[in-house]
Amino acid sequence: MLTEDFDQSNMISIIKKNLPTNKTAYDGSWAEETKIENVFYMWYKIWQASMQKRLFETTTKIKYERIIRLRFDLTFDEFPDIVPKHNEIYIPEGFDHRGGVNDLLAVTTGQSFDTLANIYQGLFHYANHTEIGFHPEGIYRRFLESSKLSIKRFKL
């Protein structure tokens, strides 16, 4: 179940203590959306959504063909009709902060969404293999580079 009130304070404490020291000093304090806690919760919620999707698919035998993952506060006058293929992830152009990849929105297949959700399980690894440590777009970029997901960019 997706929940706002689960207690992960111990995990947050571990993350903060183990941030890479050989990276650019960045602790997520510049903006609310890049605070360590918020980055952790974002990837946790994506992972939980994937788990719920898998449970639904197993229970109903209905498979999702397309997943659109986005922030709830985004609005669009128009949205392109994107039909991703297996192992493709569509990410809008722009907003690639600090050398990372835009994490506001992604369109992919159900199976590829499950792959994407695995970022949560490797947060330490990906944070340690980016130039700036625990930053959402950097973690995302590093994961996508090491995964079999093919990045396709589109204009909004």
Residues 85-128 pLDDT 10s: 999 999 999 888 777 888 899 999 999 999 999 988 887 777 66
Distance separating alpha carbons of residues 127 and 141, to the nearest angstrom: 10
User: What pLDDT, on a 0 to 100 scale, did the predictor assign at position 25?
Assistant: 44
User: Does some domain include residue 11?
Assistant: no
Task: Choose between 16 and 110: higher pLDDT.
Answer: 110
- The total of structural domains in the chain comes to 1
Q: Which two structure tokens, joined as six digits, stand for 10?
A: 């111990």
* Helices of type H across the chain: 9-17, 36-60, 110-117, 123-128, 136-146
Q: What pLDDT digit, counting tens, does each position of 33-55 carry?
A: 567 778 888 889 999 999 999 99
What's the domain range around 33? Answer: 24-154
Domain annotation covers residue 119? yes
The answer to the question of residue 18 being in a domain is no
Q: Is residue 94 part of a domain?
A: yes
d(Cα 74, Cα 60) in Å, to the nearest integer?
30
The pTM is what? 0.78
17 assigned to some structural domain: no
